[in-house]
């Protein structure tokens, strides 16, 4: 942030406004239309982050393996992830899940 930007930010905040740097606003805008994960999808993602297979996650959550596969498809779609690992990385970066 250059001195001019800093001055603009100080004046805005002092005047009761909010100030969001352009680069932050752009990153936020990228996710405005993101559909949030359900709590159960977050639970599944946490299990994936812990290194569990679909079978193990299904047993742990008392659902079928097909249910886990469907949830993983939904998770990857919502996060625009290419695979399970990518979904976990996106979720960690966005603070959806914590490091295992």
How far is the first Cα of the chain from the last one, in angstroms, to the nearest whole number? 34
User: Does this model's pTM top 0.75?
Assistant: no
Cα angle 80, 48, 61; round to 5: 115
Specify whether the CB–CB gap between 45 and 75 falls below 8 A. yes
Specify whether the CB–CB gap between 49 and 92 falls below 8 A. yes
Q: Which fold has domain 39-94?
A: Arc Repressor Mutant, subunit A (1.10.10)
- CATH 1.10.10.10 placement within the chain: 39-94
Specify whether the CB–CB gap between 46 and 96 falls below 8 A. no
**Polymer length of the chain:** 100
Q: What is residue 37's predicted lDDT score, i.e. its pLDDT?
A: 94
For the segment 51-93, what is each residue's pLDDT rounded down to a tens digit?
999 999 999 999 999 999 999 999 999 999 999 999 999 999 9
């Amino acid at each position: 942030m250059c001195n001019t930007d800093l001055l603009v930010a100080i004046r805005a905040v002092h005047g009761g406004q909010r100030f969001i740097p352009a680069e932050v606003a752009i990153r936020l805008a990228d996710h405005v239309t993101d559909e949030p994960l359900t709590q159960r999808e977050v639970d599944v993602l946490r299990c994936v982050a812990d290194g569990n297979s679909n079978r193990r996650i299904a047993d742990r959550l008392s659902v079928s393996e097909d249910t886990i596969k469907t949830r993983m498809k939904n998770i990857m779609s919502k996060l625009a992830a290419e695979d399970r690992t990518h979904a976990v990385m996106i979720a960690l970066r966005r603070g959806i899940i914590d490091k295992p």
